[in-house]
Amino acid sequence: AIDNAKELGATKLGGVTYKAGGIFTGSKPTKEEWNHSVNSMKEIANYARRFNISIGVEQINRYETYFINTVDDAIKYCEDVNEPNLFILLDTHHLIIEELSFYDAILKAKKYLKHFHTSENNRGIPGTGLVDWTEVYRALKKIDYDGWLIIESFYQGFGNIWKPVSESPEQLIYQGIQNLKKVENKVFNY
């Protein structure tokens, strides 16, 4: 993946970079699993740094992984790996499941937060679900976040998704951008 990112000219590679997905043990990671992942990530980050590529660690909800579920987990992982090109990627879809407050979670992640997925609780159009976008944008403003905001949604036909979350992928993107721009304009007083 790093070699592909290099070929594309990418400077970031993020997601569930720390563990194979779809595997559950029924408990939190053991110390041995954690240390194995941390040591592997050190090697990965060192290799990526040779090409000026940073590696993102995305906290994923407990229904998709058992490894890094919370912002605290992601921070501890970044601290344990202790490589300058490792960062946190937050996703509102996962935050709404695992955290009590978008605002507090984002503030807590400030030191490592370099990438952000905007997604509704149902993976539908941002601004049409349960995510408190005003709280999200207030927190991003408070920490002077200057990274990317990416709409991450999955449309019918992706993986096991059978239920449409919008009339079309184009509507999801267009309306999602419009909805998020309204909140951004309100919070940032544009």
Residue at token pair 């009590």: 100
43 is catalytic: no
Helix 169-188, helix 133-142: angle, nearest 10: 50
In this structure, how many other beta carbons lie within 10 angstroms of the beta carbon of residue 58?
A: 20
Closest CA to 151 of 110, 116, 109: 116
Q: Let me know if 99 is a catalytic residue.
A: no
Catalytic residue among 58, 98, 99, 120: 58
What distance in Å separates the CA atoms of residue 162 and residue 123, rounded to the nearest whole number?
Answer: 12
Task: Find the catalytic residue in 79, 152, 167, 184.
Answer: 152
Closest CA to 140 of 172, 112, 173, 102: 102
Angle subtended by helix axes 71-81 and 31-49, to nearest 10: 60
Say if strands 54-58 and 86-91 run parallel, antiparallel, or are unpaired. Answer: parallel
Q: Which residues are catalytic?
A: 58, 152
